């Protein structure tokens, strides 16, 4: 008959081994995932920048004025 504390200790050790194994597996993929997230984040930051937003608002207002000019003609 095993001691109940020993059983819990073994479970904690196996949980630790499982976590270390998972982290070890993920770290092989981490550089590629980090690069992907960096590219996405940089793209979002560029899109949200004031310069890009000004350019987009000029295009939208330019498109609207073109449409209103066509209606007037």
Domain boundaries, the chain: 4-72
pLDDT at 39: 94
- Name the residue among 63, 41, 44, 40 with its Cα closest to residue 53: 44
pLDDT tens digits along 29-63: 778 888 989 999 999 999 999 999 999 998 877 65
pLDDT at 51: 93
Contact call for residues 52 and 46 (beta carbons, < 8 A): yes
């Amino acid at each position: 008959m095993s001691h109940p504390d020993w059983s819990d200790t073994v479970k904690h050790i196996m949980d630790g081994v499982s976590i270390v194994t998972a982290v070890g597996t993920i770290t092989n993929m981490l550089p590629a995932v980090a690069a992907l997230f960096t590219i996405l984040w940089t793209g979002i930051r560029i899109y949200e920048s004031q310069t890009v937003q000004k350019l987009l608002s000029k295009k939208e207002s330019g498109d609207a004025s073109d449409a209103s000019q066509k209606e007037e003609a």
